[in-house]
Amino acid sequence: MTSVLSIDARSGQPRDLGVTDSTPPQVAALTAAAVSAVPWLRAQGRTGRAALLDRIAAELSSSADSIVAAADRETALGVARLTGELTRTAFQLRFLGGVVRDGGYLDIIIDTATPDTPMGPRPDLRRMLSPLGPVAVFGASNFPLAFGVAGGDTASALAVGCPVVAKAHPAHPETSLLIAEAISRAVSAQGAPAGVFGLAFGYEAGIALVQDPNITAVGFTGSLSGGRALAGIASARPRPIPFYGELGSLNPLVVTSAAADERAAEIGTGIAGSVLLGQGQFCTKPGLILVPATASGAAVTTALADAVRRSAPGHLLTSQIAAAFTTSTCAVAQDPAARVLARADGDAGPGLTGALVVAVPAARLLDGDADGLLAEHFGPFAVVAQYADDGELEAVLAAVEPALTGTVLAAADVPDPALATVVELMSRRSGRVIVNGFPTGVAVSWAMHHGGPYPAATTSETSVGATAVRRWLRPVTYQNTPQDALPAELRDAAVPGLPRRIDGTLTIGQPVGLAGHVIGGSEHVAAGRLEPDPGRQQPG
Amino acid sequence: MTSVLSIDARSGQPRDLGVTDSTPPQVAALTAAAVSAVPWLRAQGRTGRAALLDRIAAELSSSADSIVAAADRETALGVARLTGELTRTAFQLRFLGGVVRDGGYLDIIIDTATPDTPMGPRPDLRRMLSPLGPVAVFGASNFPLAFGVAGGDTASALAVGCPVVAKAHPAHPETSLLIAEAISRAVSAQGAPAGVFGLAFGYEAGIALVQDPNITAVGFTGSLSGGRALAGIASARPRPIPFYGELGSLNPLVVTSAAADERAAEIGTGIAGSVLLGQGQFCTKPGLILVPATASGAAVTTALADAVRRSAPGHLLTSQIAAAFTTSTCAVAQDPAARVLARADGDAGPGLTGALVVAVPAARLLDGDADGLLAEHFGPFAVVAQYADDGELEAVLAAVEPALTGTVLAAADVPDPALATVVELMSRRSGRVIVNGFPTGVAVSWAMHHGGPYPAATTSETSVGATAVRRWLRPVTYQNTPQDALPAELRDAAVPGLPRRIDGTLTIGQPVGLAGHVIGGSEHVAAGRLEPDPGRQQPG
């Protein structure tokens, strides 16, 4: 029985948590309990599950002090940052509850029966998204709360009716345990079976979870190597399951020539702030800064370097992360074309890591052996590359692996001739394109996308925002099914506020049949018309 | 250079098509041309791509005679069936054109900037789905047109802006070639670059396509073994890509006790028709028929057996398929618990295959070693299992692998006490649940779902219907991006008919800003309100 140790991120002191790594029978018991909790989550309906999320948010908030204290001890991220992250985590739970109350996520499409299509009679077909079943969640090291045991993966899965078995992160097991206890209090308070949420400990338990036949999907936030390995296990199962991995990325940032001319110092300082945020331990940290090889571009670089030099060394999340950071960034700094642009000046005492930024000509990135310069280095590090012209910039962006984000700092006061092209280039290889802002901020909202082509993520889905719920759902179409045997949202009766596409026409809160038989499947499909919700006030 | 041979499905006679298997450089040239066609497809916009699909449909229709003749020779499916399938294929192209004209598939979500959320200021965020890039398409043996080179995979990919490289099916290369020529005429007529569509021949070329770095996703309809192998190649790439495989399934069908009492003969005859349709070569063929162990259930079985005996042996798609069918069904018929219920009476001359149905007690399926009885056997074959009671029925349905479809034949004239439970059980393990109908008909419509949990399909997506386009898209969110640098559909201006969720509120054809700042990300999210399209007529 391996004891679970909680390591103080600053002192390195271990503490025995009094729990042990989950054994295979324990993992199997957790997933079996999760299966048995599926009917309860279904029976709650959308409003009942939203109420559960609200209650979890409340329990987290009322345990905020102890959770933040444990997280600070285990991650060294600081009480202020972690307090904000707890607020965000509670907000996210309530937001996703709102998303399921809204119901649009069900993506309901109803084609009523008709004898009259170009292909002959068509039966009644009613489609909606349904929950997959129990899912496994692997949280991140760098956001122990918002991407942790009660983070976006867990919240979005519970919201749509999927029980969760989370794996405690080895870098913050006590935080994981305290959050799990808060969730369990909420589960109990709502009268839910305990299997709605479970927590497993240990490396072997993580693998067992991904292989467990009761698990129907996996959410993962972490490293490329770990994610790829688990994705391979998920796809090698007798019955493969989707593996939603958010793996981080290089997040290129481009400063246009006009932007550098306009506000070099502001831009350089701003970039440094984004690189250094949370000691550089953001999935969205800009790791490659492309600046024009002009005098203004040099001024951007100078301001960036000054800010990096002034930054204070700090504790990284774990000693393993700190060691890996030092090793990998040292190697990159020794590239013959690279020069050290700036190092944090402050005293790097025991366990402290200082920021490092190196500079290379952009042409170096096109040599074909610049993998180290083009890789993500988790921690306070970035590569600044001076590009000679638009052609070189375009070539570098084509050489960069797809990313979570692509950022453009463009002229703000005058039209920037480079803007549209760089936005277009970034959009082809990023999940989010940011103009005149920084990538290290991910709003929890309807339109957010936090993902991107591989290696940023293993699928096209997002782990943040309203559409994160899509990961835990699959469509089911009911053909000629009597009203009583249909899910409530698919019946003829109006469901106030619920969006449904009926016979090709998007409606909200409308009963089936009112709009008549507008056939979506005609030879020339009419553009979707809008049938408003009669129970709601209409503008003008 | 391996010549491509077209085999007459009835006579076995080969014909040299005058083309050879595609070499690795030829495959690379096809995918490079596809990459270079991406900008043209983007520039056409939604209406331009819909026009391309309309034109392809027209070219198919004007070449119908030669395509149907070739397909009949290569598949033995018959001119009547293939003529209908060509009509369906043209309809499907036009339907998917209508889906992109509608624009709802873009799943647009816009959160305008606000200083005022519980998490502080939020930037302007605008999300829509964007095309992945060139995709590879592997069509099916059993629908050489509707799931072929110009089938649903190709149509849905082109519709959203993804160039296609199709692999010609080895069982119908001439059909594939004629369809490719029709597509190329349409591509040329629309002024498109040839790389919009390409055709490759040969087994090795298929593997090269899945491995090709320019290919961003794969659509596949075929066998479990072939699909699983290609899926493994797709996920083992240095940069894995999504593999959308539709692999077929057992498609259980349940006759309730009340339904058997009501109309046994009609049901038995109807089931036989569904099993025998297209010589049993449908992905949705019901392969397991569960009937009650009652006198009425026996009457269902008798009617089914009579119809099977009266059926005429026919040619299967290929001699390999016929040989595999004979081998696998012979083995199943020798199960100690099985008895042959009916064989086609007619003369099974050279190359002809007759239908076979075997019967077993349902309890046999629960023994744990009934894999053969619970497997899909492609061709005119089914297992009839008599279930003793609801508990046994439920246990059997739990033992069946997930399927494309699950069918319930229930009492039609009176309420059927078994209906709701069986629908619920089927919905947990099927992509489509059919009541009082047969699964061997897949309407091309907004609400159709043709997929299901593994092994029915390798993902949760559908290969038929409006939402088939989802497979070729990924979300991109634009943050604080100026109007000029945004895709047209994300700009502030109204786009007539276009559904967009703006600040949490679903709208159609509305400009951004008109609805004011209804914040979706508030602590308690308001249910989506509806903002109608002022340019369209509203009902009552």
Q: Same domain, yes or no, for B258 and B184?
A: no
The closest alpha carbon to A137, from A55, A244, A229, belongs to A244
The alpha carbon of residue A149 is apart from the nearest alpha carbon of chain B, in Å, by 20
The alpha carbon of residue A428 is apart from the nearest alpha carbon of chain B, in Å, by 8
Mean pLDDT (whole number) for B298-325: 97
Give the C-alpha distances (Å, rounded to integers) separating B77 from A445, A532, B70: 52, 47, 11
The alpha carbon of residue A196 is apart from the nearest alpha carbon of chain B, in Å, by 18
Question: pLDDT at position B86, please?
Answer: 98
Residues of B in contact with A506 (CB under 8 A): 104, 499, 506, 508
Work out how many domains chain B is built from and give that number: 2
Question: pLDDT at position B116, please?
Answer: 86
Residues of B in contact with A479 (CB under 8 A): 432-435, 437
Cα A59 to the center of its chain, rounded Å: 23
B536 contacts A239? CB cut-off 8 A = no
Q: How many CB atoms lie within 10 A of CB A488?
A: 11
A506 contacts B499? CB cut-off 8 A = yes
* B111/A349: higher pLDDT: B111
Question: pLDDT at position B349, please?
Answer: 81
Q: What is the Cα–Cα distance from A514 to A500, expressed in whole angstroms?
A: 13
Where is average pLDDT lowest: A236-245, B239-248, B498-507, B527-536? B527-536
pLDDT at residue A389 is higher than 90? yes
pLDDT at residue A58 is higher than 80? yes
* ipTM score of complex: 0.95
Q: Same domain, yes or no, for B226 and B80?
A: yes
B515 contacts A445? CB cut-off 8 A = no
Q: What is the Cα–Cα distance from A288 to A262, expressed in whole angstroms?
A: 21
User: Three-class SS of residue A386?
Assistant: strand
Question: pLDDT at position A514, please?
Answer: 62
Pick the catalytic residue from A59, A74, A174, A246: A246
Whether residue B325 lies inside any domain: the answer is yes
The closest alpha carbon to B468, from B318, B246, B299, belongs to B246
Whether residue B68 lies inside any domain: the answer is yes
B119 contacts A91? CB cut-off 8 A = yes
Whether residue A223 lies inside any domain: the answer is yes
Task: Name which of B95, B427, B446 to mutate to probe chain A: the one with the most chain A Cβ atoms within 10 A of its Cβ.
Answer: B446
Side chain identity at residue B501, one-letter code:
R
Question: pLDDT at position A120, please?
Answer: 87
Q: Same domain, yes or no, for B150 and B210?
A: yes
Task: Name which of A512, A530, A536 to mutate to probe chain B: the one with the most chain B Cβ atoms within 10 A of its Cβ.
Answer: A530
Q: Same domain, yes or no, for B153 and B29?
A: yes
- For A87-117, b/e burial (b = at least 16 CB within 10 A) is bbbbbbbbbbbbbbbbbbbbbbbbbbebeeb
Those residues with Cβ within 8 angstroms of residue A498's Cβ, 6 or more apart along the chain or in another chain: A103, A104, A106, A108, A489, A508, A509
The alpha carbon of residue B68 is apart from the nearest alpha carbon of chain A, in Å, by 18
Q: Same domain, yes or no, for A418 and A280?
A: yes
Tokens of B301: 């079985």
The closest alpha carbon to B313, from B13, B76, B68, belongs to B76
Residues of B in contact with A527 (CB under 8 A): 101-103, 496-497
How confident is the model over B245-303, as pLDDT tens digits? 999 899 999 999 999 999 999 999 999 999 999 999 999 999 999 999 999 999 999 99
Q: Which residue's structure tokens are 């507008």?
A: A518
Catalytic residues of B: 246, 283
Of chain B, the percentage scoring pLDDT greater than 90 comes to: 92
Residue A187: HSE in the Cβ half-sphere, 13 Å Cα cutoff = 23
The answer to whether the beta carbons of residues B238 and A452 sit under 8 Å apart is no
Q: What is the Cα–Cα distance from A362 to A337, expressed in whole angstroms?
A: 10
Domain with residue B177: its CATH number is 3.40.605.10
Active-site residue flag, A283: yes
Q: Same domain, yes or no, for B367 and B218?
A: no
Mean pLDDT (whole number) for A64-85: 98
Whether residue B474 lies inside any domain: the answer is no
How confident is the model over B341-387, as pLDDT tens digits? 999 987 778 889 999 999 999 999 999 999 999 999 999 999 999 99
Residues of A in contact with B460 (CB under 8 A): 132, 242, 473-475
The alpha carbon of residue A352 is apart from the nearest alpha carbon of chain B, in Å, by 31
- For A433-466, b/e burial (b = at least 16 CB within 10 A) is bbbbbbbbbbbbbbbbbbbbbbbbbbbbbbbbbb
B521 contacts A446? CB cut-off 8 A = yes
Pick the catalytic residue from A59, A85, A162, A283: A283
Q: What is the Cα–Cα distance from B419 to B427, expressed in whole angstroms?
A: 12
Q: What pTM was estimated for this model as a whole?
A: 0.94
Mean pLDDT (whole number) for A424-438: 97
DSSP symbol at A533: -
Of A104, A110, A443, the CB nearest to B122: A443
Those residues with Cβ within 8 angstroms of residue B334's Cβ, 6 or more apart along the chain or in another chain: none
Domain with residue B307: its CATH number is 3.40.309.10
Side chain identity at residue A440, one-letter code:
T
Q: What is the Cα–Cα distance from B70 to B176, expressed in whole angstroms?
A: 9
The answer to whether the beta carbons of residues B183 and B57 sit under 8 Å apart is no
User: Three-class SS of residue A491?
Assistant: coil
How confident is the model over A176-197, as pLDDT tens digits? 999 999 999 999 999 999 999 9
Q: Same domain, yes or no, for A241 and A327?
A: no
pLDDT at residue A492 is higher than 80? yes
Question: pLDDT at position A533, please?
Answer: 45
Whether residue A538 lies inside any domain: the answer is no
DSSP codes joined into one string, A441-468:
----SSS-----TTTTBSSS--SSSGGG
Of A110, A437, A480, the CB nearest to B123: A437
Whether residue B7 lies inside any domain: the answer is no
pLDDT at residue A208 is higher than 70? yes
Tokens of B345: 């009476």
Give the C-alpha distances (Å, rounded to integers) separating B312 from B8, B275, B278, B318, B417: 20, 13, 12, 18, 38
The closest alpha carbon to A290, from A374, A193, A195, belongs to A374
The answer to whether the beta carbons of residues B382 and B357 sit under 8 Å apart is yes
Q: Same domain, yes or no, for A166 and A188?
A: yes
pLDDT at residue B538 is higher than 70? no
Question: pLDDT at position B529, please?
Answer: 40
Domain that holds residue B65: 25-101+132-247+465-469
Q: Same domain, yes or no, for A281 and A220?
A: no
Whether residue B86 lies inside any domain: the answer is yes
**CA angle centred on A201, ends A196 and A206, rounded to 5°:** 85
The closest alpha carbon to B71, from B166, B153, B140, belongs to B140
DSSP symbol at B114: B
Q: Quick one: closest CA in B to A120, which residue?
A: B443
How confident is the model over B131-151, as pLDDT tens digits? 999 999 999 999 999 999 999
Q: Same domain, yes or no, for B143 and B157?
A: yes
Give the C-alpha distances (Å, rounded to integers) separating A396 from A290, A437, B216, B381: 9, 21, 21, 58
Whether residue A499 lies inside any domain: the answer is no
pLDDT at residue A529 is higher than 80? no
Of A419, A477, A524, the CB nearest to B447: A477
DSSP symbol at B245: E
pLDDT at residue A366 is higher than 80? yes
Q: What is the Cα–Cα distance from B440 to B455, expressed in whole angstroms?
A: 18
For residue A336, cis peptide bond before it (omega within 30 degrees of 0): no
pLDDT at residue B514 is higher than 80? no
Q: Same domain, yes or no, for B95 and B66?
A: yes
Q: Same domain, yes or no, for A326 and A211?
A: no
Residues of A in contact with B444 (CB under 8 A): 119, 521
